[in-house]
A and B are shown apart, each in its own frame.
Chain A
Amino acid sequence: MATTIAVPRPTVRSSETPLPPHDGKRPWKVDVEHLSFFYGDKRALEDISITVQPNVVTAFIGPSGCGKSTFLRTLNRMNDIIPGARVEGKVCIDGQDIYGPGVDLVSVRRKVGMVFQKSNPFPKSIFENVAYGIRINRIASSRSELAGRVEESLKQAALWDEVKDRLQESALAMSGGQQQRLCIARALAVKPDILLMDEPASALDPIATQRIEELIYQLKANYTIVIVTHNMQQAARVSDFTAFFWLGRLVEYERTDKMFTAPSEKLTEDYLTGRFG
């Protein structure tokens, strides 16, 4: 006989979730209003409203299938390629709705870069991996500017000292942690404003993970970073704000220190303390 397990419902509806404080000096970098997302008939995200300040790290946490990765991918329209996918609501980046009419998808993705769970360097040299985006976007006007851009990106990704003497070697010969930092350098090379990271350290050992986390901490001086992680300790270590997703809803969105010491929602408390999820 099948047993039905009673699953707790969130006590706060997504659209009512209180927003974290903002200094009021700069506009929101990301402003999502009443976003719902559908895979065919299945609603994967339900009425999400969230705002992100510039130059902070925001972490999305929640159990598998809660919609955190789906939501991340709506922020640069990465879900567009999925057949039957549909979006309702608004996602404004610097005030512009990226789902609005006449939006240039290439410029959206240039502005909102992405780093994936599994490092995916091109089967090219280290230099060419970073130079690729600069070339196709015609950002550099000369060979020396291109080289300068590559060097700057590798330095920002804390990789330059390790690879400066072997830029022409294959990127595939690098360690997993180095490959992931190369992918970060590649994303930074086209000068995005926002960096989306989908489980960027889940395939790495603790030392490589620590380097990525430290890198994220340093990068927020120049970028707005949104990271999805199933590792809630990682969210605690690297982020300024944390959003907890559950069953496609945004349950709680708070300053990270508050979220991990005194969450407002019982559901968040239960998840953080391992009582479910």
Chain B
Amino acid sequence: MEQRVVRHFQEELEALQGRLLEMGGLAEERVRAAVQSLGDRDIAAIDRVLRGDEPINELHVEIDNRCFKLLALHQPMATDLRAIVAAVKINTDLERVGDLAVNIAEAARRYATHPPVKKLIDIPQMGDIAQTMLHDALDSYVRRDTILAHQVLNEDDRLDGLKTQIFRELLGYMLDDPTTVEPALDLILISRHLERIGDHATNIAEDVIFMVSALDVRHHAPNPPV
């Protein structure tokens, strides 16, 4: 009977995946906290988001180093190569999501110094969609699930639609009452940040599809095999 060859490379790949998921969890939580603190007008919570980017930044560097060494020392091929290249790209996307959570918190802090322009309905909804997209994208990564990854891609249109709707609505408020211009612009910025988070989740989903099936679906490409 052949003994199974335990490849320590596989163990290192699994460790890489574990760290990436940890980073994903942190990024997701920061988006949630940023949107929540905006709605609650909770300055202490906003400040926690503003100050809390360091763990993500540290993971960003650590994951890059892991990928760099795995590429240099193991010369991965085929699915292993795609997994590491995907990890490098997902890592960058997650770090940007962390930065966008900070951007949301910055806008939320300014917004909290003004009276509310209106009751927040669409922005929390955008926050929910963006978080779900991020969560599903990471889930699809763990489970190697391209069907779920495709669902993430489809969700992006909803986010874009909501952003446009928010812009139009707030434009009306600003035209009616110039004192709302400043806070309304912050809400527009926040919707823009949430839309960008959706874009990063979309990138992750595209990377998952490439990693699993070697199909490049970016920019609506006609899915030619690599």
- Provide the bound-state CA to CA distance between A165 and B61, in Å: 51
Closest chain B residue, CB of each to CB of A256: B73
With contacts A233-B75, A236-B74, A236-B75 taken as known, whether A210 is within 8 angstroms of B5 at the C-beta atoms is yes
Q: Which of B2, B3, B74, B75 has the most CB of A within 10 A?
A: B3
Tell whether B226 is near chain A: CB-to-CB under 8 Å: no
Give min CB distance, A18 to chain B, whole Å: 20
B5 proximity list for chain A (CB < 8 A): 210-211, 214
**B1, B8, B68: the one within 8 Å of A217 (CB):** B8
| In contact, B69 and A261 (Cβ under 8 angstroms) | yes
- Provide the bound-state CA to CA distance between A17 and B176, in Å: 75
| In contact, B7 and A161 (Cβ under 8 angstroms) | no
| In contact, B72 and A261 (Cβ under 8 angstroms) | yes
Closest chain A residue, CB of each to CB of B3: A161
Tell whether A250 is near chain B: CB-to-CB under 8 Å: no
Interface residues of B in 18-48 (CB under 8 A from A): none
- Provide the bound-state CA to CA distance between A260 and B74, in Å: 11
- Provide the bound-state CA to CA distance between A161 and B5, in Å: 12
- Provide the bound-state CA to CA distance between A213 and B3, in Å: 14
- Provide the bound-state CA to CA distance between A11 and B80, in Å: 37
Total A-B pairs, Cβ < 8 A: 34
**B3, B69, B73, B75: the one within 8 Å of A158 (CB):** B3
| In contact, B6 and A214 (Cβ under 8 angstroms) | yes
Q: How large is the interface on A (under 10, 10 to 19, 20 to 34, 35 or more residues)?
A: 10 to 19
Closest chain A residue, CB of each to CB of B8: A217
Tell whether A162 is near chain B: CB-to-CB under 8 Å: yes
- Provide the bound-state CA to CA distance between A260 and B72, in Å: 6
B68 proximity list for chain A (CB < 8 A): 261
- Provide the bound-state CA to CA distance between A261 and B75, in Å: 12
Interface residues of A in 32-68 (CB under 8 A from B): none
What string of 1s and 0s marks CB contacts (under 8 Å) between A226-265 and chain B?
Answer: 0000000100110000000000000000001100110000
What string of 1s and 0s marks CB contacts (under 8 Å) between B64-106 and chain A?
Answer: 0000110011110000000000000000000000000000000
A236 proximity list for chain B (CB < 8 A): 72-75
Residues of B within 8 A of A (CB): 1-3, 5-9, 68-69, 72-75
List 21 A-B pairs, Cβ < 8 Å: A158-B3, A161-B1, A161-B3, A162-B1, A162-B2, A210-B5, A210-B7, A211-B5, A214-B7, A217-B8, A233-B75, A236-B72, A236-B73, A236-B74, A236-B75, A237-B73, A257-B72, A257-B73, A260-B73, A261-B68, A261-B69
Residues of A within 8 A of B (CB): 158, 161-162, 210-211, 214, 217-218, 233, 236-237, 256-257, 260-261
Inter-chain pairs besides A161-B1, A260-B73, 7 sampled, C-beta below 8 Å: A214-B5, A214-B8, A236-B72, A236-B74, A237-B75, A257-B72, A260-B72
